[in-house]
Structure 1
């Protein structure tokens, strides 16, 4: 058998991230938990029902900043260690210690925002004038004030808050602890299968039998857990639905968009325009790739492959360091130093091992590293994932210029720096090598990774979410079979009648953890819309644009998503940037048709 997953302890430590940068030992972490609990109890004693002057409020907010910073360290240490070794009982126990501490501590500090919102607006404005670094934080409290509940109700919700995350924990338990995938046979050889192997390697393999047989085995396992996963997902939405009604929103979608400070118009535009206008370009692209692979039919298992090419060679993590520095060097010396630091100080977990979380992400401590999770294959697809996650790292390292209270921008903007890095990486390489074969290879990688992932995969998830939320708000009955049918219908609508989309495709909704994070999936296409425009500006006029772009990233949440984009020179109040992004994808397909 090939591709059996190694245990975590068998992995070369140089391929793993170093969480000792947060706490040097488990014991230091546990002491940090005890200190944090005591600090929270003192905070409640000092400030609850005592926010009577701007001086007291300023002291409270400064201590609250410190509490939030410590919480960032504790949560990252707890979950980062577990995310790479989910079957490790010791690490699970350490994460549980954090969950228990948070369950008792969060209600003790939740009073702060509730009681600030009850104060006279003039006093809050006085605090903003004294401490301008908190202006957007205070403005957000005032924005949410009409939807605030009675303090006793807010206190009750704060006490129940830990249970609201239970559906997601159930989902992860099913995914990482209960699901086991049987071996599959392709080309007369037996292969191990898993989430990591399928999503990072098999699904994009140029070997048709490996690709299709791995998919058949993968989805046969998912199908066994369809109803349990549906129950978890629907219970998560019902929690959101209840809170939306309590806070006086017309729909659950309106409630979730309000939290992002984004209009319903922007949300619907991303879905409707892409479903209609990007689909024809992507259909052309997939047919072109399928023809190059000699496929007589195109199934759902074939949609994510790129053009066959001799350039599709694997590189090592160490080789990717200089590769990305060369591609992203336009962003300046400080940005290059951040990339070097990420490699040299082991912020990146490259390993593929049993029990590791799937996909890729970047998790930044407010006063520490940006930890990047990957499952490294060495293919260009994975190099672009690393460029993407380094974009998040660069963003949040720069955003530390803001208070931790003004740190996290709206989800609508969050994927712009990451996707801009992907486009910038490919466009830099295209300029460096004019060989038509290389150009065709790289354009294909750019479409099949960057644009497919962010503007097809995640966008179809967004369309699915919109339909599910709408049906639940209309009190319709949903279960696993209905969720599969909704997903299948949306996929077929996008791809049309020329593709053989089988019933297994309906199970794809089960793969996405972002469904438990509000309306996250649509923001990938929103971010890529901004990212595509920024990559173009950075190439055309780097001297004028780089400084402005980095300044925008340093603003954190001090501006709304629309204003952040506008500050960088992209006006998303109209559909012009989105339509230009779609046209750019069309032009890439046009060029491929000339080259192939």
Structure 2
């Protein structure tokens, strides 16, 4: 059989991440976990009911910082190994030990922000004046005051945190532990199938029979779990709806956007403008690619392929190191050193193995590495994913200049540094090699990976989310079939009448874990809007822009997402950056039409 997935224990250790950098042994982790539980209990006894003066508040917040840093280490050590080996019962047991402690300490810690929110604003402003590193954190507490519940209610909600997290965990259990994909036949060969193989390889394969038959195999399995996955997702969004009502928000969307400090107008604009104005460019692009592949019809299984090219060669993880250093070196010596450290210290898990989570992510420890998850194919598509995740790593390594309480900016800005790296990488390569064949190949990869993934795939998820939440708040009935129909309608609206979008496309909503993280999907297009503008500025005038961009990244959450973008030189208060980004994609398609 072709492409059977290896077991985790059979993977070369050099292709795996080194979580021993967090704790050298499991015993060290367990000792730290016990210390964390004890420290939280001491924290509650010391400060609960005592936050009445500046000195005590400052002492409490400094203590809270140390607890937050330790919790980050414990959480990542407990769950990162499980992300790459989900069938390992020893690792699952270790994660469970963390969850049991987290369930105990969550209500013990809930008093802090609740009591701070009940204080006079003058005292909170005195904290800001005395400890300016917490400005954004305190301002968020002030902003949240109107939606604060009674302290006992807040404590009760915190006690239920493990239950509220359960739908996301159930989704992962269904996806990685229960789903078994049958082998399929293509071109006279038998292939194994899985989430990793399909999403990282088959779905973008230039072999039409392999791509389409793998899709039929993949979605036939998803269909069997449609109703279970729908019930899981609906329980999650109903939890969000209940909390939104409790806190006095008019809608669940308003509640989720309030958490991001983003207006409804910005959210709607991102979806509506892209659905209307980017769609014609993407339709043109996919038709161009389909013609190059001699496709008579274009199905939803064909949408993510790039142009056929002799340049589409695979490279090793080690070769990608210098490749990305050359492309991102404009960001400065310290940034290059960060990339080198990520390879030298094994921050990245490149392996493809059974039981590993799909996609890619970057998890940064406030006092440690940035762990990157990939499933390495060696294609340019995957190189751009690594550039993307290194963008997150560089961002959060720089943001450590802030207090951990002022560390993570709004989701609206989170994807800007990562997508900027993707565009910067491609723009650098386009400058270096003027060969028409290479130019066509790379432009196609840039569109099919960076812009398709962030401004089509995730944007269509955002349009799906908006419709689901709107119906939820109207108390309409939802189930698996209705969710599939909503997704299918959104996809068909974007692609129009010239594409054969089959019923299986409606199951695509089942593939995305971001639905369990609030209104996350639309922020990819928001980030890429900022990232495209920044990549252009970095390319055209690096001497004047690099320092300002790196300083912006070091500001963490000390500004709103809109203010961070403006500080970097991109004004998202208007639709101009978004329209310029869409025009840039159009210009890339124009150039492709000239080249091919």
TM-score range, shorter chain: over 0.9
Cα-to-partner distance string for 1:495-524 (whole Å, 9 max, x where unaligned):
000000000000000000000000000000
Please give the residue correspondences for 1:304-315 in structure 2 after superposition, counting only pairs within 5 Å.
304-315=304-315
Question: Secondary structure in 2 aligned to 1:177?
Answer: helix
> Aligned pair 1:460/2:460, yes or no?
yes
Partner of 1:193, secondary structure, is coil
Q: Secondary structure at the match of 2:160?
A: helix
Match of 2:142 in 1: 142
Deviations 1:247-287 (A, max 9, x none): 00000000000000000000000000000000000000000
Aligned alpha-carbon RMSD (Å): 0.3
1:306 Cα deviation (Å)? 0.1
Name the residue aligned to 1:240. 240
TM-score by length of 1: 1.00
> Which residue number corresponds to residue 266 of structure 1?
266
Once the two structures are superposed, the pairs formed by residues 174-323 of structure 1 within 5 Å of their partners are 174-323=174-323
- SS across alignment from 1:572: coil
Query: Structure 1 runs of 4+ off > 3 angstroms?
Result: none
- Where in structure 2 are the equivalents of 1:98-117 lying within 5 Å? 98-117=98-117
Q: Superposition pairs for residues 54-133 of structure 1, below 5 Å?
A: 54-133=54-133
Cα displacement string for residues 151-189 of structure 1 (whole angstroms, at most 9, x for unaligned residues): 111111111111100001110000000001001110000
How far did residue 303 of structure 1 move? 0.2
User: 3-state DSSP class of the match of 1:358?
Assistant: coil
SS in 2 for 1:165: helix
Distance in 2 of aligned mates of 1:127 and 1:579: 41
Determine the C-alpha separation between the residues in 1 that align with 2:201 and 2:159.
43
Q: Quote the Cα distance in structure 2 between the aligned partners of 1:262 and 1:412.
A: 7
Partner secondary structure for residue 352 of structure 2: coil
Partners of 2:485 and 2:387 in 1: CA distance: 35
Structure 1 residue 342 displacement after superposition: 0.2
The 1-side partners of 2:212 and 2:139 are apart by 52
1:27-42 correspondence to structure 2 within 5 Å:
27-42=27-42
Provide Cα deviations, 1:107-145, integer angstroms capped at 9, x if missing partner.
111110000011111111111111100011000000000
| In 2: Cα distance, 1:494 partner to 1:127 partner | 50
Whole-angstrom CA distance in 1 between matches of 2:291 and 2:157: 56
How far 1:446 sits from its partner (Å)?
Answer: 0.1
Deviations 1:36-92 (A, max 9, x none): 000000000000000111000000000000000000000000110100000000000
What are the superposed Cα offsets for residues 342-394 of structure 1, whole Å, 9 maximum, x if unpaired? Answer: 00000000000000000000000010000000000000000000000000000
Q: Quick check: 123-132 or 328-337, which moved more?
A: 123-132
SS, match of residue 371 in structure 1:
strand
> Alignment length, in residue pairs?
596
Aligned to 1:416: 416
Distance 1:313 1:33 in 2: 46
Q: Alpha-carbon deviation of 1:194?
A: 0.2
Query: Structure 2 CA distance, aligned partners of 1:240 and 1:341?
Result: 39
What SS does the aligned partner of 1:73 have?
helix
User: 2-side partners of 1:521 and 1:76: how far apart?
Assistant: 23
Report SS of the residue matched to 1:363: strand
Structure 2 length as normaliser, TM-score? 1.00
Separation (CA, whole Å) in 2 of partners of 1:110 and 1:326? 47
Aligned-pair CA distance for 1:441:
0.2
Task: Give the Cα separation in 2 of the matches to 1:286 and 1:47.
Answer: 60
**Structure 2 equivalent of residue 480 of structure 1:** 480
How many angstroms apart in 2 are the aligned matches of 1:470 and 1:128? 38
| Alpha-carbon shift at residue 106 of structure 1 (Å) | 1.1
Aligned equivalents of 1:332 and 1:311: distance in 2?
Answer: 29
Give the unaligned 5+ runs of structure 2. none
Deviation per CA, 1:380-431, whole angstroms, max 9, x where unpaired? 0000000000000000000000000000000000000000000000000000
Q: List aligned pairs for 1:1-20, cutoff 5 A.
A: 1-20=1-20
**For residue 350 of structure 1, what is the aligned residue in structure 2?**
350
Three-state SS of the structure 1 residue aligned to 2:259 is helix
Q: Deviations over 1:308-340 (max 9, x none)?
A: 000000000000000000000000000000000
Q: Which residue is equivalent to 2:535?
A: 535
- Match in the other structure for 1:549: 549
Structure 1 distance, partners of 2:22, 2:320, is 25
Q: Distance in 2 between matches of 1:566 and 1:428?
A: 24
The separation in 2 between residues aligned to 1:514 and 1:307, in whole angstroms, is 29
Task: Provide the rounded CA distance (Å) in 2 between the counterparts of 1:158 and 1:230.
Answer: 25
Give deviations 1:536-575, integer Å, cap 9, x for gaps. Answer: 0001100000000000000000000000000000000000
Work out whether 1:388 is the aligned partner of 2:384: no
Three-state SS of the structure 2 residue aligned to 1:185 is strand
> What are the ranges of 5 or more consecutive residues in structure 1 without an aligned counterpart?
none
Which residue in the other structure is 2:164 paired with?
164
2:362 match: secondary structure: strand
Corresponding residue of 1:372 = 372
Q: Does 1:444 align with 2:436?
A: no
SS at 1:6's partner residue? coil
**Deviation at 1:34?**
0.3
Partners of 1:343 and 1:107 lie apart in 2 by: 39
